[in-house]
Structure 1
Amino acid sequence: MRSSYFLIILILTVFSCDWTIKSTHQDAIARVNSTFLTKDKIDAGLFDGLSVQDSLIQIQNIINDWASQQLLQDGALLNLEAQKQKEFETLVKDYKRDLLTSAYLEAMTKQNLDTIISNQELELAYKQNKELFYLKEDLIKLRYINHNLSMSNSNEIKRRFKRYNAEDRAILDTISLQFNSFFLNDSVWINSNQVISKIGPLQKGFNKVLLKKQNFIQLKDSLGLYLMQVKDVLEIGQQAPLAYVTPTLKQIIINKRKLKLVNKLKSEIVNDALRNKKFEIYE
């Protein structure tokens, strides 16, 4: 990396010496009218891993790109109407102002925003926004195991899987490394399409069996035996459960807090400026 850096400096030095018009800038490598491209504007990282020949080509491309942009800018300044240029300058100033104020408000918001959300707040937000949370996909609570057909303890696994008391859960979790795939947390809602994408036989026309509550399903294919126990189902058009939409609710609450905090900060800034005579309104 160090030798590459010195190589680039050497090449840039060669470029900077080959001029018809000499520059008063010792580190300049190109000029367009009265504007100079200097060595410190070239990112040495662009040449990592390049040969000398490729580095020369890369530098030439960089110089040519810079020159074309500079010539176009100079041409625009020379030929565009003064009013149009003034409009652009106003746009640039407005854009810079918006960037600065947005970044400042964002930094102040991060420092002062309360991100802790209680269960009571989630429940209230859920009640107030229920009309937003009708399902557009089927949800399901289930557990499943996929294991090789040749497993000697297949019957025991099936028995424990179906009964699924505390001891069964602990044992199945302990031997889960023997399974091809599994999902044992049947207390959470998941998109039925996610289940179908994980279980091969369900992609071959058996997916409808998923949408039956309290349903035990056993399927097999070349990858092994699939055991599925459906605990609960919610279909498209039904009310989405609170647990499933909690991430969205949290974002809604945080966004409302942000808006309220931003308005408060703006008001405090103005009032503080008025008190300190930094801001005055003339009648």
Structure 2
Amino acid sequence: MAVLLFASCDPYFKTKEEKRVLARVGEDYLYLEDVALLIPEGMAKVDSISFVTNYINNWAADQLLLSKAKINLPEEKLSEFNALVENYRTDLYTRAYKEALISQGSDSLISDSQLQYFYEQEKENFKLKERIVKVRFIELPVNFLNKEEVSTRLRRFKEEDVRYLDSIGVQFKKLNFNDSIWVRSSRIFEEIPPITFENQDRYLKKSQFFELKDSLGVYLVKIEEVKKLNEIAPLPFVAPTIKQVLLSRRKINYLRKLETEIIDEAIKDKEFEVYTDEK
């Protein structure tokens, strides 16, 4: 490895049994093992030498600036920063440990009955902020020759029609046959440009079939169902959101229980005491 070249000629390197030093700023040392892990695997020797040189220079600049900051910044500002660093360190360790405990002990399964119960209790909070639809559609090239056949089969959509449309699907520019899923109207505007926010009242109606055309293609669209603005969203549409809310609540409750158990155990083992002034 190219880094070893530095090890053979740097006057600050110690014995083979000790860590190999690459650079020093005051009482702070940069070691070979700190830099070696950062070098991308397979990097050419000349590139790795350049990488290490740049890293050393950047490290040195940071250390020198840090040293100057400690000398020149007001004492109260240094105390503030030290407290922030310590708080961040504590938060980093405890957050990682909490996540590990949650992954081991917290149940991540949400039953259909739990979803349904929450939905029924919170229905008024699930009013739609935009129209949603169940839709199937196909975008054809402008000069597609068999448009009428495709249109008939998409509208009828029996089992044999689905098989036929699937068999020639490679000829379509775009398709969506999954009309059992609710889709936001904003997504429809993206997928079918001739339908816009301004004209959606005309096209996004239940059981409507229509054909639209622009310079990009021909759009055959069948609307199965529609839910309008301010209607209560159907459960399947909001189920992912409900699941995240329930999991978040479960996580919070689990952490509270853990914290209580940890404190109780520490008090029992006399590892934790609270001192109060008794006068």
CA pair 216-282 structure 1, distance change in 2 beyond 3 A: same
What is the CA deviation profile of residues 148-196 of structure 1, one whole-angstrom value per residue up to 9, with x for unaligned ones?
4665654332222222233333433344333222111212110122222
1: CA distance, partners of 2:249 / 2:62: 44
CA gap 1:67/1:267 in 2 versus in 1, 3 angstroms: same
TM-score by length of 1: 0.80
Letter in 2 for 1:261: Y
Q: 1:115 to 1:84 in 2, by over 3 A?
A: same
| 1:230 CA drift (Å) | 1.1
Matching residue within 140, 156, 163 for 2:133: 140
Give the aligned residue type for 1:45: I
The yes-or-no answer on 1:8 pairing with 2:7 is: no
What is the CA–CA distance in structure 1 between the aligned matches of 2:75 and 2:241, rounded to whole Å?
50
Q: Secondary structure at the match of 1:161?
A: helix
Deviation at 1:85, TM superposition (A): 3.9
Aligned Cα root-mean-square deviation (Å): 3.0
Match of 2:240 in 1: 247
Query: Secondary structure, in 3 states, of the residue corresponding to 2:222?
Result: strand
- Give me the whole-angstrom Cα distance separating, in 2, the residues matched to 1:93 and 1:82: 17
Unaligned residue ranges in structure 2 (runs of 5+): none
- What does residue 249 of structure 2 align with? 256
Give the TM-score taking structure 2 as reference length. 0.81
Question: How many residue pairs align between the two structures?
Answer: 271
Structure 1 residue runs of 5 or longer lacking an equivalent are 18-22
1:25 corresponds in structure 2 to 14
Residue 120, structure 1, aligned to residue 120, structure 2: no
- Selected match of 2:187 from 180, 194, 198: 194
Which residue matches 2:159? Answer: 166
**Identical-pair percentage:** 36
Partner letter of residue 267 of structure 1? T
CA contact (8 A) 2:130 2:229 kept: yes
| Higher mean C-alpha deviation, range 180-189 or range 40-49 | 40-49
1:70-149 matches, within 5 Å, as 70-80=63-73, 84-148=77-141
Provide the C-alpha distance between the structure 2 equivalents of 1:80 and 1:197, rounded to a whole number of angstroms. Answer: 54
Q: 2:260 aligns with which of 267, 270, 274?
A: 267
| 1:226 equivalent among 183, 208, 219 | 219
Q: Which structure has the highest helix share of the two?
A: 1
- SS of 1:37's equivalent in the other structure is strand
Q: How far apart are residue 50 of structure 1 and its match?
A: 5.5
**More displaced, 32-41 or 204-213?**
204-213
